[in-house]
């Protein structure tokens, strides 16, 4: 297979000349091709087959121990003007960026096969979808891309028809962290990533294309590329509302997207559209609609069990690739909080010894096709996407942020999103548990200056009078002994129900300076083991703490300087004034 698109053929030839592979293989995306790649990876030790009786078609990949997460400090956005990348990104001038990374790509694929992967982010026939081509020397990447994207011949046909595509060049290089770089050239719609095989750095359709490059593209084209799950909530009466929710990495997006209603909520159903990324467009009537550009899940494994996420627990018992989990004597995958089995071999392939750390890496992952999920919604293939009733932002905050609150209007909602802060997690290399600002959960993923991004968000209010309401949630509040105040997981449906009731004007709320909070009895706590004190803490605000928080949000947004939209500054000042009025 080759291509009739000259620009694509020329680029593939140039890359081959630079990287010197032993062979070039165009990927068709067929099942036979996947099976062949798996056979090859089993033979060369890249994959190990897991217990075929209990985990049919499941494989384990153990990465280099230094290559287990995204590397924000090595991730760059290369725009001609540094201001366009903004203080939220590491920046390099495009020429310098190309020179640096091309020097690493020189001869990098010697002795290896170079795979050419045409892919489509989003339903193959959707006008909202965008295509790309990833070139990689990793068969593991090809196998993952098969699940995560619509990859192969159909995508190539679309690319040839449209004549445009995002160029993504990837090589695992020598996996030396000193020679690892994840570079984005948004003005050229291109990506160059070398030195890592980890999903977030290597499956270029995901964070690199569908968030960093797409967010840049979305700004010029008038849409939004967001770090959001998309979930459908169906009431016992059959009414379905779709919610898009942005939470930082490893904060439970996958769990929320495939939530199982608890027994106290009979008749409710959850439909999963996506667990990580949403592309949002206004339709002709002004309704915001979402597609999930991905077709699979690359989820965090530890903590997944029959109680926390039964759907995920089941869907990864077949046709899944595990990365960096442990194994039992019976060759079943094992991870912390799995609740069944005992680890025998840890994620580094060593005999498990609790003294050397967790058995599975805290950022160990599963890759699986979305269709494996029992709550998969067929509307994930709908070309027009689904109508969004509510946008929800959230973070992992031990204190301060209530369980849920609603912004007054779109402008206030943009401020709520811009002020999101969360404790860092193992999804990125670096310290875990430190609170940092993570606006719209996009800190690692926005491909341009946050100030311009907020202006873009604000501009939607001029384009539609039917925009969804914007909320903020926090499942992670703790008491003074470090105990979670809210049970989370399936019980979060109660919060989603409140959100939907607010959208439908069916429930009253209490107005506070930071927005509307649930009134007493507003959240259904029937059958829930929660004290009045905990509920009060979850549904009220501490004014003194919030004054400090609003001042800190003010300082944070001001750090974006002249490009900060006045409307956002004014909104922050308005909320700060409201807080001042109360004692």
What residue ranges bind ligand OXD (CB under 6 A)? 70, 200, 249, 276, 298, 427
Collapse the DSSP code of 299 into the 3-class scheme (helix H, G, I; strand E, B; otherwise coil) and give the result.
Answer: strand
276 counts as binding Mn ion under rule CB under 5 A:
yes
Picked from ligand OXD, Mn ion, none, the partner binding residue 200 (CB below 5 to 8 A depending on kind) is: ligand OXD
294 counts as binding Mn ion under rule CB under 5 A:
no
Q: How far apart are CA 392 and CA 251, in angstroms?
A: 13
Contact, 226 vs 442, CB < 8 A?
yes
Q: How far apart are CA 204 and CA 210, in angstroms?
A: 8
Picked from ligand OXD, Mn ion, none, the partner binding residue 120 (CB below 5 to 8 A depending on kind) is: none
Picked from Mn ion, ligand OXD, none, the partner binding residue 370 (CB below 5 to 8 A depending on kind) is: none
Picked from ligand OXD, Mn ion, none, the partner binding residue 275 (CB below 5 to 8 A depending on kind) is: none
Picked from Mn ion, ligand OXD, none, the partner binding residue 546 (CB below 5 to 8 A depending on kind) is: none
Instruction: Quickly tell me which residue has 């404790």 as its tokens.
Output: 423
Of the candidate spans 7-15, 36-44, 245-253, 310-318, the one that interacts with Mn ion by CB under 5 A turns out to be 245-253
Instruction: Quickly tell me which residue has 């270029």 as its tokens.
Output: 204
Cβ distance to ligand OXD smaller for residue 227 or 411: 227
Residue 103: phi and psi, rounded to 5, are -60, -35
> C-beta of 206: minimal distance to ligand OXD in Å?
7
> Shortest Cβ contact with ligand OXD: which residue?
249
251 in active site: yes
> C-beta of 436: minimal distance to ligand OXD in Å?
14
Cβ distance to ligand OXD smaller for residue 442 or 535: 442
72 counts as binding Mn ion under rule CB under 5 A:
no
> C-beta of 555: minimal distance to Mn ion in Å?
27
Q: How far apart are CA 175 and CA 65, in angstroms?
A: 10
Instruction: Quickly tell me which residue has 């209490």 as its tokens.
Output: 510
Cβ distance to ligand OXD smaller for residue 276 or 332: 276
Q: Which of 366, 363, 367, 364 is nearest to 432 (CA)?
A: 363
Contact, 461 vs 411, CB < 8 A?
yes
- Tell me whether residue 102 is exposed, middle or buried, using C-beta atoms within 10 angstroms of its C-beta: 0 to 12, 13 to 18, 19 or more: middle
What are the Cα distances from residue 576, in Å, to 406, 512, 573? 17, 12, 5
**Element holding 322 (H helix, E strand):** strand 321-323
Cβ distance to ligand OXD smaller for residue 200 or 522: 200
424 counts as binding Mn ion under rule CB under 5 A:
no
Cβ distance to ligand OXD smaller for residue 217 or 425: 425
Q: Which of 384, 448, 424, 431 is nearest to 186 (CA)?
A: 448
Cβ distance to Mn ion smaller for residue 276 or 294: 276
> C-beta of 249: minimal distance to ligand OXD in Å?
3
Of the candidate spans 45-53, 274-282, 506-514, 543-551, the one that interacts with Mn ion by CB under 5 A turns out to be 274-282
Number of chain positions touching Mn ion (CB under 5 A) = 2
**Element holding 247 (H helix, E strand):** none
249 counts as binding Mn ion under rule CB under 5 A:
yes
Token couple for 571: 């909104």
Picked from Mn ion, ligand OXD, none, the partner binding residue 70 (CB below 5 to 8 A depending on kind) is: ligand OXD
DSSP 35: H
Q: Which of 190, 279, 201, 194 is nearest to 8 (CA)?
A: 190
Residues in the chain: 583
Instruction: Quickly tell me which residue has 């359709």 as its tokens.
Output: 205
Q: How far apart are CA 518 and CA 129, in angstroms?
A: 37
> C-beta of 427: minimal distance to ligand OXD in Å?
4
Cβ distance to ligand OXD smaller for residue 105 or 298: 298
What single string gives the DSSP state of each residue in 508-547? -EEEETTEEEEPTT-S--TT----HHHHHHHT---HHHHH
Contact, 473 vs 407, CB < 8 A?
no
Token couple for 367: 């890759």
**What is the per-residue binding string for Mn ion in 166-205, x denoting contact by CB under 5 A?**
----------------------------------------
> C-beta of 253: minimal distance to Mn ion in Å?
7
Cβ distance to ligand OXD smaller for residue 250 or 288: 250
Picked from Mn ion, ligand OXD, none, the partner binding residue 186 (CB below 5 to 8 A depending on kind) is: none
> C-beta of 275: minimal distance to ligand OXD in Å?
8
Catalytic residue among 58, 131, 208, 251: 251
> C-beta of 373: minimal distance to ligand OXD in Å?
16
Terminal alpha carbon distance of the chain: 71
Cβ distance to Mn ion smaller for residue 275 or 549: 275
Picked from ligand OXD, Mn ion, none, the partner binding residue 565 (CB below 5 to 8 A depending on kind) is: none
> C-beta of 150: minimal distance to ligand OXD in Å?
19
Picked from ligand OXD, Mn ion, none, the partner binding residue 422 (CB below 5 to 8 A depending on kind) is: none
What single string gives the DSSP state of each residue in 372-400? GSTTB-GGGG-TT-EEEEEEEEE---SSS
- Tell me whether residue 94 is exposed, middle or buried, using C-beta atoms within 10 angstroms of its C-beta: 0 to 12, 13 to 18, 19 or more: middle
Active site residues: 251
Binding residues for Mn ion (CB under 5 A): 249, 276
């Amino acid at each position: 297979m080759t291509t009739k698109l000259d620009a694509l053929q020329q680029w593939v030839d140039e890359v081959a000349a630079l990287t010197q592979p032993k062979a070039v293989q165009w990927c068709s995306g067929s099942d036979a091709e996947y099976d062949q790649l798996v056979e090859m990876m089993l033979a060369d030790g890249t994959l190990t087959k897991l217990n075929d009786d209990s985990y049919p078609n499941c494989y384990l990949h153990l990465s280099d121990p230094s290559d287990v997460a995204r590397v924000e400090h090595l991730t760059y956005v290369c725009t001609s003007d540094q201001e366009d990348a903004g203080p939220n990104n590491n920046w390099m001038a495009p020429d310098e960026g190309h020179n640096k990374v091309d020097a690493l790509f020189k001869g990098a694929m010697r002795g290896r096969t170079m795979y050419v992967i045409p892919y489509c982010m989003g339903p193959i026939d959707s006008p909202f979808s965008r295509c790309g081509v990833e070139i990689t020397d990793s068969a593991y990447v090809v196998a993952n891309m098969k699940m995560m994207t619509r990859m192969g011949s159909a995508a190539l046909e679309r690319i040839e028809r449209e004549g445009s595509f995002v160029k993504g060049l990837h090589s695992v290089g020598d996996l030396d962290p000193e020679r690892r770089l994840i570079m984005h050239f948004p003005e050229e719609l291109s990506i160059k990533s070398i030195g890592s095989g980890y999903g977030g750095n290597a499956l270029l359709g995901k964070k690199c294309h569908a968030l960093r490059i797409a967010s840049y593209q979305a700004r010029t084209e008038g849409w939004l590329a967001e770090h959001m799950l998309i979930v459908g909530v169906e009431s016992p009466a059959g009414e379905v509302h779709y919610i898009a929710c942005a939470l930082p990495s490893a904060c439970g997006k996958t769990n929320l997207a495939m939530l199982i209603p608890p027994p106290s909520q009979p008749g409710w159903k959850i439909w999963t559209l996506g667990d990580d990324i949403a592309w949002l467009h206004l339709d002709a009537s002004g309704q915001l609609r979402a597609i999930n550009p991905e077709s699979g899940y690359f989820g965090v494994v530890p903590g997944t069990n029959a109680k926390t996420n039964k759907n995920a627990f089941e869907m990864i018992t077949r046709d899944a690739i595990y990365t960096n989990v442990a194994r039992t004597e019976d060759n079943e995958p094992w991870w912390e909080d799995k609740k069944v089995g005992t680890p025998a071999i840890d994620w580094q392939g060593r005999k498990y010894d609790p003294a050397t750390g967790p058995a599975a890496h805290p950022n160990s992952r599963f890759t699986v096709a979305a269709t494996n999920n029992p709550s998969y919604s067929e509307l994930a293939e709908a070309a027009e996407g689904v109508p969004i009733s509510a946008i929800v932002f959230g973070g992992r905050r031990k204190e301060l942020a209530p369980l849920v609150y609603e912004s007054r209007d779109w402008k206030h909602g943009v401020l709520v999103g811009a002020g999101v802060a969360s404790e860092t997690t193992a999804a990125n290399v670096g310290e875990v548990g430190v609170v940092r600002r993570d606006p719209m959960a996009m800190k690692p993923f926005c491909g341009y200056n946050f100030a311009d991004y907020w202006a873009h968000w604000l501009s939607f209010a001029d384009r539609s009078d039917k925009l969804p309401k914007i909320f903020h949630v926090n499942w992670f509040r703790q008491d003074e002994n470090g105990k979670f105040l809210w049970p989370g997981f399936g019980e979060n449906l109660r919060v989603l129900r409140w959100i939907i009731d607010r959208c439908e004007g069916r429930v009253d709320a209490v107005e506070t300076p930071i927005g509307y909070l649930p009134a007493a009895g507003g959240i259904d706590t029937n059958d829930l083991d929660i004290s009045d004190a905990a509920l009060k803490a979850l549904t009220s605000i501490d004014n003194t703490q919030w004054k400090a928080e609003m001042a800190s949000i003010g300082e944070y947004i001001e750090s974006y300087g002249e490009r900060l939209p006045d409307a956002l500054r004014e909104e922050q000042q308005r909320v700060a004034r409201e807080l001042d009025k109360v004692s």
